[in-house]
Amino acid sequence: IVVNGDGKNVSTIGYGETYKSDLNKKAMPLSIVLSNCSGVTIAEVEAKAGTGGTCSGDNLDGDSYAAGLNTAFEIWGGDADTGVKLSCKTPPAAQKVTITNGAGTYPMTSRIVVANGKSLSDVTAGDVTAPVTFVVTYP
């Protein structure tokens, strides 16, 4: 289950109204919460572009997930800039989640950014979305 910073189950992380000055700065916490995992002590989490989604940039080679209008979203395991970037183009190794008493949590941060190879002046107004799929495996 994906939960937002308020601990509510969500399928979308809403950023609300965001200004150009917020790009590369505005971040939202989220987590994958695992429960009822009896007999399992470790899970692995990976992120990948969801159905219809791509990596950002004209060549689709950015670390962030394309959102449209020359924007994108970064996904970080832990905090932005200090955690593990769950890159779209070059994903890191699957991230391990310890499961204790059938439960575990993988905290993450999503940040809205200017798309790979673009500048702030390229960004236009409107609604943006970036489908990202989280894959959980039990090795």
Supply the pLDDT for residue 106.
98
In 10 A of CB 132, how many CB atoms?
19
Residue 113 one-letter amino acid: V
Supply the pLDDT for residue 62.
98
Backbone torsion region of residue 63, taken as left when φ is above 0, otherwise alpha when ψ lies between -120 and 50, otherwise beta:
alpha
Q: pLDDT class for 116, splitting at 50, 70, 90?
A: very high
Supply the pLDDT for residue 19.
96
Q: Which helix (H) or strand (E) element contains residue 137?
A: strand 132-137
Q: Which domains does the chain have, with CATH numbers?
A: 2-137 (2.60.40.1090)
Q: How do residues 25-52 score in pLDDT, each as one tens digit?
A: 999 999 999 999 999 999 999 999 999 9
Distance of alpha carbon 47 from alpha carbon 81, whole angstroms? 17
Supply the pLDDT for residue 6.
94
Supply the pLDDT for residue 80.
98
Q: How far out from the chain centre does Cα 16 lie?
A: 16
Model pTM score: 0.95
Q: How do residues 78-106 score in pLDDT, each as one tens digit?
A: 999 999 999 999 999 999 999 999 999 99
Supply the pLDDT for residue 120.
98
